[in-house]
Amino acid sequence: MTKFIIGTLIVLVLWYFFSTRSKARSYLANAFLEEAEPWLNKEDIKPLSVRYEIYKEPQLAKNEGATALVGSGTKTDGSKVGFIVEVVPGAGVVEGVYLEPYIIASQHVSASRLARMRGVSLIDIMQEMAHQHRIKHSVNN
């Protein structure tokens, strides 16, 4: 019986830890998306359509104090777009670019590894990846 109680307590403590951590990460992600919302609206990207990942590591940002937000979404005309923006809390988007083709945005994990290895910003690596993709598939630059 004692083992059951100890096991239950351990499970409850782990659940509380991971639940609190998940809520904190979700709040942080939503805060950065809110900061990016004016840019999304200006670019005619529907904020509710956006799927994104956030990279808070300073070495991945081009601009000091910025957090990179890589995502894709749907414009009001129905076209899909990929993008990467750098967001500074309180200042909003300080730099943002489209990723053509939009599917390049889904390669953010490998792009972040490459950016760390090369010591360059995530925005630069993702633009390079998009450029290389267009060359490889003979799409106009």
Tell me, yes or no, whether 80 lies in a domain: yes
Instruction: Work out the number of other CB atoms within 10 angstroms of the CB of residue 8.
Output: 10
| Sign (positive or negative) of CA dihedral 96, 100, 102, 107 | negative
User: Is the entire prediction scored with pTM above 0.85?
Assistant: no
Order of strands across the sheet with 92-99?
51-55, 67-74, 80-88, 92-99
User: DSSP 3-state assignment of 141?
Assistant: coil
pLDDT for 137: 87
Tell me, yes or no, whether 78 lies in a domain: yes
CB 36 within 8 A of CB 87: yes
Residue with tokens 């090369």: 118
Domain residues for 112? 2-136
pLDDT for 141: 53
Tell me, yes or no, whether 141 lies in a domain: no
Number of separate domains in the chain: 1
pLDDT for 17: 59
Q: What is the pLDDT along the chain (141 residues), one digit of tens a residue?
A: 777 777 676 766 666 655 555 444 454 556 788 889 999 999 999 988 999 999 999 999 999 999 999 999 999 999 999 999 999 998 999 999 999 999 999 999 999 999 999 999 999 999 999 999 999 987 555
Tell me, yes or no, whether 81 lies in a domain: yes
Per DSSP, the residues of 26-91 read: HHHHHHHHHHHHHHHHHTTB-GGG-EEEEE--GGG-SSTT-EEEEEEEEBTTS-EEEEEEEEETTT
pLDDT for 37: 92
pLDDT for 22: 47
